[in-house]
């Protein structure tokens, strides 16, 4: 990700940096939302610090997919999702 960030900055003109910054801020907000949502679904099984600092994006996507699959399976089974 650092390479991508560095390459993006090198190719970005000064006038485009504010727009790029806003894009990064939106990405951060989305990531925070997903992490806090994962923490809620895990019911205290993992802290937000672990997800923020010790888990990479690919692992977060896998965990999120597993949760969504389990939610769908729960809905299909008719069991309550509490």
Q: What is the pLDDT of residue 12?
A: 74
Residue 36 in domain: yes
Domain that includes residue 44, residue range: 2-77
Closest to 5 (Cα-Cα) out of 14, 56, 61, 21: 21
What are residue 60's phi and psi, to 5 degrees? -60, -40
pTM for the predicted model, two decimal places: 0.67
Residue 18 in domain: yes
**Number of domains the chain is built from:** 1
Residue 82 in domain: no
pLDDT in tens, 23-50: 889 989 999 999 998 898 888 888 999 9
Evaluate whether 79 touches 49 at the Cβ level (below 8 Å). no
Residue 41 in domain: yes
Q: What is the pLDDT of residue 1?
A: 45
């Amino acid at each position: 990700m650092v390479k991508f960030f560095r390459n993006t900055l090198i190719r970005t003109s000064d006038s485009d940096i504010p727009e790029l910054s806003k894009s990064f801020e939106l990405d951060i907000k989305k990531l925070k939302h997903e992490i806090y949502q994962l923490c809620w679904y895990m019911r205290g099984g993992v802290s937000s610090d672990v997800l923020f600092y010790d888990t990479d994006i690919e692992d977060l996507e896998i965990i999120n997919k597993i949760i969504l699959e389990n939610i769908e399976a729960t809905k299909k089974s008719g069991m309550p999702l509490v």
